Structure 1
Amino acid sequence: MLRAAIACCCILIVMPLSAARAAGDSSPWYDRASCKEAMQIVMALDLDGSESAIRTLETDKDLDAKACGVYLRALLSEMLIAVHGSTPEQLRYREEHLKRMFGFAKAHAKYGVRYADLEVEARMRRVRTLFEQGNKTEALAEARRANKLLKARLERGTSPTVDFVQGIMYSALGQSGMLTRTLLGMAGLSGDPAEGYQALQRVYGGHSVYRDEALYLARHFAWDMRESGSPFGDPLALGRTLVARHPTNGQFVYDQGRSLRLEGQCKEAMEIAQPIVRRIEENPGVWAPNLRSKTFFLAGRCLVELGQLERAKELREAMARQPKSDFSENLAALDDAIREAGGAR
């Protein structure tokens, strides 16, 4: 849960935003075709398109459209951190929009439980933010508040939002890492991890707007639990589903490619990474240095393992040309891999 870094179900069938409104869609915000379409744009890492789609929802008079916009801002904030790294600007952006989610939930709770549920989601997401800021005391306090709200809400039933929050919080209780368990224990969190696994599976096996974020997180949990036995199944299979849905998302491709490389499957890793590499080479300013460096590093390491040293060196140079980012320090590891393979650096 601290680094969350979402198995398989039907492809979303969506219609244009204008068509959904014209049809008078009365579904809850998380089930609306217009919200799912906008989610697809965010998940594609189309940053300009994401901004346009979210603003359309935010300026709609319909309350469910606004609720979708609030959720997608939080999702976009996580995507931007993946692209840019944990820069002060991106961390402030995430904090700002989590506070906005909280405020929206409080202001509109009287109009429906689906709006009120966004409070527990905002609190759950904020726990990670506070830990990353080094504010462990407030993070633990926020975790307690989120847990208390969640337990009270579960007594009255559930929803995709509640399943999403329960899935993350309770699944984290089942993590093997002592740090995670200790921190959650300090926060007084309690819950059955099996219930968390089932809740998360309901979300990524369902049709709500949370589906693919839940699949991404399930892949993360499954990877961390792969040696002890993952209740979510094979993390590589989950990752394949996610990348098949969002092949242009460089972060999803990097995470899956890294896992494949560590499992000795660099050929498959390069099959999904090559289109991303090509996109960056054709458009050197796309995304940000952090994600570009990750991509060049992954491809470079795999090319070394596949014996394509000259191409690996080219990508090493491309990585070296990137402005400094969170990922820059990994250049030395790529140099070492090339040197050990006989391609002196």
Structure 2
Amino acid sequence: MNISDFDYELPEERIAQTPIEPRDASRLMVLDPQAQIISHHHFYELDNFLQCGDVLIFNDTRVIPARLIGARKDTGGKVEIFLLRQIEKNQWEVLVKPGKRVRLGAVISFGDELSCEVVGHTDFGGRVVRFSYEGVFEEILDRLGNMPLPPYIHEMLNDQERYQTIYSREKGSAAAPTAGLHFTEKLMQRLSDKGVIFGFVTLHVGLGTFRPVHTEVIEDHVMHREFYSVSRETAELIHAAKQEGRRVVAVGTTSIRTLEAASAKTGILESGSGWTDIFIYPGYHFHVVDAVITNFHLPKSTLIMLISAFAGRTFTLDAYRTAVREAYRFFSFGDAMLIQSRGKK
């Protein structure tokens, strides 16, 4: 398939710059791929569309303040470091800007308490750095780091917690699993009261989720590896749901990728942890996920390809064009979509 098959026109004013308050006041487009029906609602109405016994799977990853601004010790030139993945205690895989000027051996200072040396290159144009510091790295990062908002968001975020889900707990992401940003305590209580069951997985969002596709033929694109974990408790919740004919509803593309990666070997979800570079696009056979809650994604991205695999490419793009026409808000701080079932092949 060609990358142009996943393109759509998006006016810049449709890109949400700030989060809406309260979280669940965002709009909710509900899709029925089988009946080819699109309807318009608000996220606080989600309990009207979920059933008693549905298993709602959340990604409980927590975003770290992964953006550091420093200066090269030899030239004083400004350097931005974006943490992607911890390799070992003091070594991280990072993106560097401007990358061409930061070569092996370069030392970058972030003040008196933190510096790093470039010790390697990665296969995607990034760097491997070794940090030097005194004290606890996480505490230093909390003081010096900034929340890594996507580049299409130009407004300052006053409350850093607004880029975290209310259930986040496992630190390690370079970006938020944004479909979960719409949930509030009150909404989750209403869902629980209705009999919706909650389960949690972890996928630390890294380069694989937002890396642009540069190949014309999408099958040639290679995803970057990301760490995931599925607990025995969550696996048992899902096994029971499958045996009893109840739905597994994934909150966000990262939850989808986690569940499908953990079931890739046998078609049955397995508990455990590891690294995944799973790339889901039309033609993929889903093993676990029955319904999806997601945001609206960038044109030509691996995320819109994943949603197209679930709901059908033509129907997905029709829904996106409808969302543009109906003035939905797009991307991380934008509105949401509920896809009630898998689309037709």
For normalisation by structure 2, the TM-score amounts to 0.29
For normalisation by structure 1, the TM-score amounts to 0.29
Q: Which has the higher strand share?
A: 2
Q: Which has the higher helix share?
A: 1
